[in-house]
Chains A and B, each alone.
Chain A
Amino acid sequence: MSEICERVREEAALLGRAPETEELREHAATCAECSEFLSKLAALESEIAGLRSRDASDELVGKLLARPELNPRPSFRWRVWAMAVASAASILFALRIGLLYRAPVLRPEGEIARPYELEEDREVSAMMKSTRPASPRAEEPQAQESLGYDALGTSDQKRQAPADKLERADEFKDLEEQRAPGKAKKEDFDAAGGRIGAGSLGDERLLAKLRHRAPVYPEIARVARIQGTVILEVTVDREGNVTAVRVVRSVPLLDQAAIDAVREWKYVPSDSDASRVFPVQVPFILEEPDGDEARSPLEGLRFQEAKGYWANTYVPGDPVLRSLELSLRGTAYPALHQAARPAPLPLDATSTGALSLFIHSNRRGITEKNRLLVQVGIRASDHHGRRRPPMNIGVVLDLPRVITQDFASATTTLLSSLESASELGDRFRLIVPGAGEVLTPETFRHGPLTVALQDLYSRAPSGSVSDALALALEKVHAGDDPTEPLGTSVVLVVTGRRLGGELDGLARMAQASAVGGVSVSAIGVGAELDSAELDRLALDGQGRRYVLDSASEGPGIIDRELSSASRTVARAVRLRIQLAEGVRLVDVLGSKPLSARESARVRADERVIDLRLAKNLGIEADRGKDEDGIQIVIPAFYAGDAHSILLDVVAEGPGPIAEVTARYKDLVRLENTVSRAGLALPRSDALSGPLEISVEKDRLEFRVAEALRVASEAVERGDTETASQTLHEALAFALERDRSMLEEYLRFFPQLPASYLRDSLLYASALKRSHTAS
């Protein structure tokens, strides 16, 4: 080895990488021996960097923290201070009680705050003070004392005799007993931190709590392992009741629980009329998970094969849901299911294609064999495809008795817009009360439309709008192609007047039609309208409601109606989820493996869509082959929708977990598209972030939906006990917004007839599984 090689090694060994000296670098570039050394050094360095970082066992850390010598001790100087202040406090207290109160003292009601809570309150207030120099509290009379520790003294004169005041004396006694240690700590903090000066204490020293309620640890925060201290600013009136709470420092998911608890606290009443404002700390500390959940989450698990076809769980505009909705409507019972909100999925929509694909887990990383929740999310684009499916639309034009110029021009623009938006395959027709089907799909063109409208406006025929709607529904239903996506068959009712007595009949027809797959939308023209009537019609007809004030709004309304009716952005979505080696499937939540016969039907349906789109839109047929992994086929996916599939898996350790592929017919770009996403977890025990929390939330929402479904099935069997018990159990893990719904169900349980309850629970369950994108 030459001398220069030696120098290369020396410098590289010092730096842990290639030398920096120019001469040595040039040599290393040409010398084979040196470059081999350097590449090996780089490999070694990366091995060193990847050395498992060893950690002490939790048991060892626990043992350490339990050692008695580790308790913090205030310095000697401050201990002297504390003793001095404590003795001064007791002397003054004794004096005051002795001189002013000779009446017997009564015990106050409620629980007295434990001393450490008092300390917490004070400590934050000190910190808060440092950031808010001009505290309004400083102006209050109590705060003006120079000694600053006995604010009670000043108001003593006012507190003579009355019995209710005497009760308070004892409250103060409790307070006084707590004060000494608290005081010492306060002083210690102030001086050590050097943040606030002596004598600047506000009236937060009166914050003895008469009633304390510990916050409830929210389930979602517990599973997501979120802990921290929420700081609240609390306003207390003179009676000691908490009147307002504001979050000063938020900890995600914990704020509400803190607020709920603090609202029930009660403080010692004050003599000042002014309300008191001060900060309060509410710490949330996770206990070590106990019981079998923590110790053996992996015991007794049964695994399933992660392959074959699984049931699709995305069912938009589910006909079952629609018939349930119909049976639930129009009863006098409380519509409890309306409190069910779909779980929002925080997934971004794609800006180019039709669908975006996500894969997340409820852990940011793992360090050992672990049970995981993997969420596969699909989010559709918010924009419908430029290519909408062929539409089947019947327009019912209800003419007022007197046709104004405004009405004529507005409706002309509206219908011309519809005409000009028509595309190959569309079937539009115009039906007018008293005149029947004025334009058929064959004659719904610019020329005939203009002529027909002019004729109608001059003739102003009158007739029953119900008959016209019935005719329109009949024609549109006859032309409805059930294989087209839901919403492509619509009846538009255009009216310029109040419907009055006819409304009930129209709404009933609209409702029946909507269940059968043809929705009814209402368009009001002019100012003579009752928009509540239009709402009713559109709601019952599962359509939309528009009001046309001027002719210029016509094209926009038509555009919206057509786009919302053609929301399909992707068809024949085939999801394939492959688990990495060493990752085993416990379950796909809510889904089940399909039998051979069911699989064959799914494949056949997929093939039909494949061929039809190839024929109609020229998207090449590409299906017919089975793939490995879990396969789920979704026939159609709608704009603005989101869906998630939750997989319960066990991973052997950090590394790749799963890969998901979505193969679909993109109706936005009219092509076959494949999206891929993969999930790998690093070796880490980092706490959950927002993504991981949203996966956990999804799981909890899913569990609530399951509980509702199980309860509904139990009601169906006549087993109301199981049903109410299931809902009770769900209360334990439900998120805030679901909890109130469950409580309502439990409250109304005995009063509702079984058939209504069954439908309502099932509806709520279905609604909870229909995601919205947030």
Chain B
Amino acid sequence: MEMAAPEAEVARDDGGPLLAAHGNGDREAFPKLVQQYRRPVYGYLFHCGVPEPDRDDLFQEIFVRVHQRARTYDASRPLHPWLFTVVANAVRTYFRKQKRRLFFFAGPPPEDVKDQAPDGEALASARETTDWLERAIQALPFSQREVLVLATLENLPMNEIASILGLPVNTVKTQLRRARLRLMEGYERRTRATS
């Protein structure tokens, strides 16, 4: 039997009206908006591998940016993609700066700092599959990582991811495919090792 379309989007409690109310001076709206999105935003930062002390700063930074750009938000459109554009851009900028900093202070990295292949030993030693998986995702190349997190943990459809990241849909698909195949590789190794 034919399955339902995978992109069927989960109905989301959208915070759009809250942001609009905030723009119009409602004092209660923004805290509510933060409460609604703290988990997805923080989760994205975590799974994309933003390290601990910077993660908190970036989290605050993102919501300040949302506040500053509240006026540019079109209330007739869903908030989720808009907000995740801000989030994704903030994370990209962060990693870009990070790379530059490393370049200046420690010389050029051999390749993308975050784009190292999963460290087999560290991963295999992870006791829990969830621990392993979290680390494996963080060890994916950044371009694959962001697509994977948006597609799986945020459950966003391809075209939305493409517009959030400013990429062609086909590129998004390629990255997602590569990300999953890479994870599968590690997963198969892991299950073979443990069984």
Contact = CB atoms under 8 A, between A and B. Distances in A.
B24 A192 contact: yes
B181 A50 contact: no
Which of B3, B6, B26, B180 is the most central at the interface, judged by chain A CB atoms within 10 Å of its CB?
B180
B93 interface: no
Interface string B158-192: 00000000000000010011101101100110010
Given A37-B184, A44-B184, A50 B130 contact: yes
Nearest to A50: B130
A51 interface: yes
A91 interface: no
A128 B38 CA distance: 32
A51 B153 contact: yes
A193 B71 CA distance: 14
Given A51-B133, A55-B39, A72-B30, A189 B56 contact: no
Interface string A32-71: 0000010011011101111111111000110111010111
A185 B26 CA distance: 9
B83 to A, nearest CB: 15
Contacts of A70: 30, 63-64, 67
Interface string B18-32: 000011111101110
Given A15-B6, A55-B43, A188-B25, A64 B59 contact: yes
Interface stretch (A6-14, A129-137, A236-244, A641-649): A6-14
Interface of B: 2-3, 6, 22-27, 29-31, 34-35, 38-43, 46-47, 56, 59-60, 63-64, 67-68, 71, 129-130, 133-134, 151-153, 173, 176-178, 180-181, 183-184, 187-188, 191
A73 interface: yes
Contacts, number: 118
A50 B133 CA distance: 10
A16 interface: yes
A188 B191 CA distance: 61
Contacts of B153: 48, 51, 53
Nearest to B133: A47
Contacts of B41: 56
Contacts of A20: 2-3
Given A13-B180, A188-B25, A51 B47 contact: yes
Contact of A13 (B24, B56, B181): B181
A47 B25 contact: no
Nearest to A185: B25
Interface of A: 9-10, 13-17, 20, 37, 40-41, 43-45, 47-56, 60-61, 63-65, 67, 69-75, 185, 188-189, 192-193
26 contacts: A9-B181, A9-B184, A13-B177, A13-B178, A13-B181, A14-B173, A41-B184, A44-B180, A51-B47, A51-B130, A51-B133, A51-B134, A53-B43, A54-B47, A55-B38, A56-B56, A60-B56, A63-B60, A64-B59, A64-B64, A65-B31, A70-B30, A74-B24, A74-B25, A189-B24, A192-B24
A647 to B, nearest CB: 31
Contact of B39 (A40, A44, A54): A54
User: Closest 3 A-B residue pairs measured CB to CB?
Assistant: A13-B180, A56-B42, A54-B46
B25 A40 contact: no
A32 to B, nearest CB: 14
A72 B134 contact: no
B130 A10 contact: no
Contacts of A60: 56, 59-60
Which of A56, A63, A185 is the most central at the interface, judged by chain B CB atoms within 10 Å of its CB?
A56
B7 to A, nearest CB: 10
Contacts of A16: 6, 151-152, 180
A45 B187 CA distance: 11
Contacts of A56: 38-39, 41-42, 56, 59
A441 to B, nearest CB: 69
A75 B25 CA distance: 9
Contacts of B47: 51, 54
A63 B40 CA distance: 18
Contacts of B40: 53
A226 to B, nearest CB: 16
Given A37-B184, A48-B133, 14 more contacts: A10-B177, A13-B178, A16-B151, A37-B188, A40-B191, A41-B184, A44-B183, A47-B129, A51-B153, A55-B43, A72-B23, A72-B27, A72-B30, A185-B25
A50 B113 CA distance: 28
B27 to A, nearest CB: 6
B34 A65 contact: yes
Which of A14, A69, A73 is the most central at the interface, judged by chain B CB atoms within 10 Å of its CB?
A14
A54 to B, nearest CB: 4
B22 A72 contact: yes
Contacts of B151: 16
A53 B180 contact: no
A67 B60 contact: yes
A295 B40 CA distance: 26
Contacts of B42: 54-56
Contacts of A17: 3, 6
Nearest to A13: B180
